[in-house]
Amino acid sequence: MTVDQASKRSLQLTADGQLRHFLTLDGLDRALLTDILDTADSFIEVGERTIKKVPLLRGRTVVNLFFESSTRTRSTFELAAKRLSADVLNLDISTSATSKGESLSDTLLNLEAMASDMFVVRHSQSGAPHFIAESVTPGVAIINAGDGRHAHPTQAMLDMLTIRQHKGGFEGMKVAIVGDVLHSRVARSQIRALNELGAAEVRVIAPGTLLPTDVESLGCTVEYDMQKGMKDLDVVIMLRLQKERMEGALLPSEREFYRLYGLSRDKLALAHPECIVMHPGPINRGVEIESAVADGPQSVILNQVTNGIAIRMAVMSMAMGGQVSERNQKQAGREQA
């Protein structure tokens, strides 16, 4: 483990190894990631009940602090918190005090003064959730809902849950991540999770203009030709072209990208016959993926959405439990002193 990974681990975990914050997968080991998956599995049946609630966060206040828009992620975090019986505040940053000149620190202090217990943070700047976790009052949990190009740990974990459900595990799995890896925080978290959970091979397939210069150091192999890269795959994860983050002409055209890197039935036929198709959404049909594939029998895209609620329930309940455990330990220590 590197010094940076050790630092991230110590910030995220309590002294006894429980989750305090969930900011990145860096520094988290296979046992903890598996624990998150197992906990999420136990929450899946909650969504099948007539009354879709458990009381684990009853009396707690969760603030969705989204500095960047995201309908799907925000909605699933809100549903997850409500199914855990928490009170939820959705803060519209575009009309909040931060847009009127108030600093982020002052906004956080005011929210903490309202007895908030958890902030779910999405931000366009890499590292923003880490800054908040280091600045926030002890006892408040921070969950990263996506920051810049850095990380999207809950999305990666719901993808891992989906793979485990359909494949039974990760040993021997060959997985490819295809498309705009350069701008994707999801891809970085997926590569980390797949390697930690024991996948046999993680490939990235993309044109050179959509790959980070150090992509292989993340723990993957690179393939520029999708025809070659699709061979023998067990899982293919398509990424959205993030045009809003692109600077300059990184692609000749969307049509040309689809011709070379879009997932069509012909390209999917090169993979293992039982290869599953995934996409973190939202989907650009006819750009990243053919509709017949997105809606086809090998697609598990809607399963990913369903699993997103369970994973976020797991992470939120575990982080709140870690905060309570740490607070109790400190209180016991003071009493003994």
- Is residue 89 located within the same domain as residue 188? no
Tell me if 297 is assigned to a ligand binding site. no
- Is residue 313 located within the same domain as residue 294? no
Q: What is the DSSP string of 286-307?
A: TTTB-HHHHTSTTB-HHHHHHH
Q: The domain spanning residue 215 has which CATH number?
A: 3.40.50.1370
| 224 falls within a domain | yes
- Is residue 190 located within the same domain as residue 271? yes
Tokens standing for 196?
A: 């930690």
Q: Please state, in angstroms and rounded to a whole number, the distance separating the CA atoms of residues 156 and 192.
A: 9
| 331 falls within a domain | no
- Is residue 138 located within the same domain as residue 240? no
Angle between helices 153-167 and 185-197 (to 10 degrees): 50
Tell me if 30 is assigned to a ligand binding site. no
Cβ proximity of 193 and 159 under 8 Å:
yes
Tell me if 150 is assigned to a ligand binding site. no
Tell me if 18 is assigned to a ligand binding site. no
Tokens standing for 131?
A: 């800054």
- Is residue 13 located within the same domain as residue 50? yes
Q: Say what percent of the chain tops pLDDT 90.
A: 71
Q: Please state, in angstroms and rounded to a whole number, the distance separating the CA atoms of residues 6 and 313.
A: 26
- Is residue 141 located within the same domain as residue 190? no
Q: Please state, in angstroms and rounded to a whole number, the distance separating the CA atoms of residues 129 and 119.
A: 9
- Is residue 114 located within the same domain as residue 140? yes
Domains identified in the chain, total number: 2
| 168 falls within a domain | yes
Local confidence band at 4 (pLDDT 50, 70, 90 cut-offs): confident
Phi/psi of residue 287, nearest 5 degrees: -115, -55
- Is residue 74 located within the same domain as residue 43? yes
Position 213 pLDDT exceeds 60 = yes
| 140 falls within a domain | yes
Q: Tell me which residue range forms the domain holding 76.
A: 3-151+306-323
Q: Which of 73, 32, 79 is nearest to 54 (CA)?
A: 79
The H or E element spanning position 113 is helix 104-113
| 334 falls within a domain | no
What are the tens digits of pLDDT across the range 145-188? 999 889 999 999 999 999 999 999 999 999 999 999 998 999 99
Phi/psi of residue 183, nearest 5 degrees: -100, 5
Q: What is the mean pLDDT of the chain?
A: 90
Q: Which of 234, 294, 223 is nearest to 261 (CA)?
A: 223
What are the tens digits of pLDDT across the range 260-308? 999 999 999 999 999 999 999 889 999 999 999 999 999 999 999 999 9
Tell me if 155 is assigned to a ligand binding site. yes
| 330 falls within a domain | no
Tell me if 52 is assigned to a ligand binding site. no
Q: Indicate the range of 23-27, 238-242, 248-252, 312-316 predicted with least confidence.
A: 248-252
Position 245 pLDDT exceeds 50 = no
Q: Please state, in angstroms and rounded to a whole number, the distance separating the CA atoms of residues 176 and 203.
A: 4
Local confidence band at 247 (pLDDT 50, 70, 90 cut-offs): very low
Residue in the structure block whose two tokens are 């329930």: 313
